[in-house]
Structure formats: C-alpha cells, structure tokens
C-alpha cells in the first residue's frame, strides 16, 4: 500500500514529501520532477514569492542509481525565503483562510504558525509526490493532464489572462474551474464492496484537501441532477467484439470502480482569501474590530492549482492501482497491469 506524507512550512527550511510503498525499479527522473515543480510555479497572477523561489528537488532517500529501491522515498525542496524569526503579530484573521479556525482549534491569538502550514506553499509536496506517481503511471501508459475551464466568468485563455492582470492591479483575487483527466486508465481499479475502497471516495478526498478547492465533480457532475435516468447514463454496446460506451458522462468510474474510460473530474477553486483590498476582521488580542493587513500572496493560482490537482489525482491512482494489483517490483506491477487490461480487451475472447 502506498502512503504519502507531507511536511514543511511556507517560510520554514523547506517542503518535504515522503512516499512509502513505491515498488522497486521505478526510474525516478529528477529532470521530470523539476519540470513539474516549474509548472507549479508558473501561471499568470502569481505573487512575488515565485520570483524568489526556484524550486528544485533534492532526492534524500529511497533511490539508488536513479531507480527506486523499495524503501521510503523522501524528497525535499529547500525554501529560499526561509525566515528564522517573526517579530510581527498576526492577529487579524482573514475570512476564508485557516487563521481564525486554527486559532480556535489551538486556543491561540496569533495565527502565524497556522498560516505557515495552511499556506499553498505546501502544494510543493503534492507535486513532489505527484511527480513520482506520474512516472509510475507513465510506466503503465496512463497519462494525467489538466485544462483550465474558466476563471471567474471567463473561459477564453486571452481574456482570462487580461482579467487576472486587471484584478491583480485592483488588489483583488480570483478562483476558477479546472478539469483533470487520466487517459488510458486500467478497468477494475477500486471496489464497490466498501465505502473506503471506492476509487471516487479516494480521489474526491485527496482533491478536496488541495488548498482552495471547494467542489469535486465526476464526469458531468451536478448536471446529472437535471437529467432523466434514461438519458443520463453511458449506454453499453459492442463493436468488433469489444465493449464500447456511447459517452463518458460518468467520468470513467461506476460503482467506485474504474470502467476503463478516461477518468474526468472538474474541481472549483475559491478566490484566494488574502486580498490587497482590506477586509473586515477582528483583532484577536484586543477583541476589537479592525481590517486585515495585506501579506504577500497570489491574485490567482488556478494555473498552478491545475498542476497540483494532476499530482493529487496521480497519487491516488498510483495508490489504488497498487492496492488492486500489488507487486514488489515494477516488473511485477507491469505484468499485473497488462493482465488486468486483458480482462476488458479480451472479455469475449481474442
Ligand atoms: C505559495 C507561496 C506563498 C504564497 C501562496 C502560494 O508564499 P508567500 O506567503 O511567501 O507569498 O505566495 O500561498 C497562498 C496563496 C496562501 O494562501 O498561503 C506557493 O509556493 O505556491
């Protein structure tokens, strides 16, 4: 079973990812990981921090001569903007951020340590682990990608860019909708037998845990609610002796199990709570109303979030494929994946 843990604070020494359960013999391509980290840093609307950082992976453990050894893989990105001491007080919580809820949880009046961990800088860890998962999926010919559907009320790329730049100048922030897809998925991953073995249970819980994500939809998602049962589902047919589906409205998962179609998911990201425009708050130390103080942030992180969501989906797919197939080495996993694919491809014989 694959296990993933993240650690690190936004302005601490760095961000870490630990992956336990990676089969032996997976090629861990450092250039690929660094390229994914670069993709996460890019995108219009990003704040000044991205001009400071140049995220690069340090492979700490679990890799020998470029290949996974079967031991836990620890990956580190060191923060350039590492600050040892904070004299400032952080007492005016931002609505929509973890500031207030975190202070109530720990009964503290300064939210510095809360926001340090809640920060979207943590998504570096998702991309570190997600890059390894993507390399694993590529070995099984599964490709994970994403696309920006919309930002605020715009869906045209050029208009989106203009809108983000204008909003950034105005001191406000934006969210949007992202579509994520896994192509050439193996059928039969996940299970209908228990809630916590359903593939969509794992995918949705990972994606909703990405900073700012407020909804996760599979296939046509909430559009289902407005359709008749006779029109809503992807009819089952046969062509040249192979099972075919007319459409993929369900997004590749039925009954918690992958059905072999592409996995298609849409997520929405809320606008970032840190705005240059001051917002109403209260000073937690003195108990009086005040306005929020601006701290450096992004105006829009939808493009970056798309890369993070690809990573989150990849981690879950790797985890659930390994749960279904098992295997100590990549050779074993490849053989079992091939055998699993044959079930659908040769369902009615060759
Ligand atoms: C981020 C790093 C952070 C923020 C942003 C994402 O750096 P800093 O706080 O030093 O500017 O730019 O985090 C948030 C949007 C947030 O809400 O915390 C990153 O590396 O992606």
CA of 291 to the centre of ligand 1 (A): 20
Q: pLDDT-derived band of residue 332, with 50, 70 and 90 as boundaries?
A: very high
CA-proximal residue: ligand 1, atom 14 (nearest): 120
Q: What is the pLDDT of residue 291?
A: 96
What SS3 state is found at 58?
strand
* Model pLDDT for residues 150-202, shown as the tens digit of each residue: 999 999 999 999 999 999 999 999 999 999 999 999 999 999 999 999 999 99
Q: pLDDT-derived band of residue 84, with 50, 70 and 90 as boundaries?
A: confident
| Ligand 1 atom with least separation from CA of 123 | 21
Alpha-carbon distance of 9 to 30, in angstroms, equals: 23
The shares of helix, strand and coil residues in the chain, as percent rounded to the nearest 5, are 35, 25, 40
Which one is predicted more confidently, 93 or 1?
93
* Model pLDDT for residues 2-56, shown as the tens digit of each residue: 999 999 999 999 999 999 999 999 999 999 999 999 999 999 999 999 999 999 9
CA of 204 to the centre of ligand 1 (A): 23
Residue 81 has pLDDT above 80, yes or no: yes
Question: Does the predicted TM-score (pTM) go above 0.95?
Answer: yes
* Model pLDDT for residues 276-290, shown as the tens digit of each residue: 999 999 999 999 999
Residue 85 has pLDDT above 70, yes or no: no
**Is the distance from the beta carbon of residue 297 to the nearest atom of ligand 1 less than 6 Å?**
yes
**Is the distance from the beta carbon of residue 269 to the nearest atom of ligand 1 less than 6 Å?**
no
* Model pLDDT for residues 87-145, shown as the tens digit of each residue: 889 999 999 999 999 999 999 999 999 999 999 999 999 999 999 999 999 999 999 99
* Model pLDDT for residues 166-178, shown as the tens digit of each residue: 999 999 999 999 9
């Amino acid at each position: 079973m694959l296990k993933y843990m993240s650690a690190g604070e936004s302005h601490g020494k760095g961000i870490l990812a630990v992956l336990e359960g990676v089969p032996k013999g997976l090629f861990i391509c450092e250039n690929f990981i660094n390229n994914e980290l670069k993709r996460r840093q890019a995108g219009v609307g990003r704040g000044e921090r991205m001009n400071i950082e140049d995220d690069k992976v340090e492979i700490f453990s679990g890799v020998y001569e470029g290949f996974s050894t079967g031991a836990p893989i620890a990956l580190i990105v060191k923060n350039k903007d590492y600050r040892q001491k904070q004299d400032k007080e952080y007492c005016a919580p931002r609505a929509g951020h973890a500031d207030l809820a975190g202070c109530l949880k720990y009964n503290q009046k300064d939210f510095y340590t809360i926001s340090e961990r809640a920060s979207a800088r943590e998504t570096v860890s998702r991309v570190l682990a997600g890059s390894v998962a993507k390399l694993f999926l590529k070995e099984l010919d599964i490709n994970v990608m994403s696309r920006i559907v919309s930002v605020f009320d715009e869906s045209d790329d050029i208009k989106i860019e203009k809108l983000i730049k204008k909003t950034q100048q105005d001191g406000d922030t934006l969210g949007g909708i992202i579509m994520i897809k896994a192509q050439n998925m193996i059928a039969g991953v996940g299970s209908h037998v228990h809630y916590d073995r359903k593939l969509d249970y794992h995918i949705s819980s990972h994606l909703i845990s990405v900073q700012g994500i407020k909804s996760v939809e599979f296939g046509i998602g909430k559009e289902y609610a407005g359709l008749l049962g006779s029109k809503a589902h992807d009819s089952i047919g046969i062509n040249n002796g192979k099972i075919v589906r007319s459409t993929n409205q369900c997004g590749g998962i039925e009954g918690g199990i992958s059905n072999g179609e592409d996995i298609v998911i849409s997520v929405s990201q809320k606008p970032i709570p840190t705005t240059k425009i001051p917002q109403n708050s209260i000073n937690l130390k003195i108990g009086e109303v005040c306005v929020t103080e601006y701290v450096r942030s992004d105006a829009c992180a939808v493009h970056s979030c798309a890369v993070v969501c690809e990573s989150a989906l990849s981690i879950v797919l790797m985890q659930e494929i390994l749960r279904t197939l098992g295997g100590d080495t990549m050779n074993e996993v490849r053989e079992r994946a091939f055998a699993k694919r044959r079930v659908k491809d040769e369902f009615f014989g060759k």
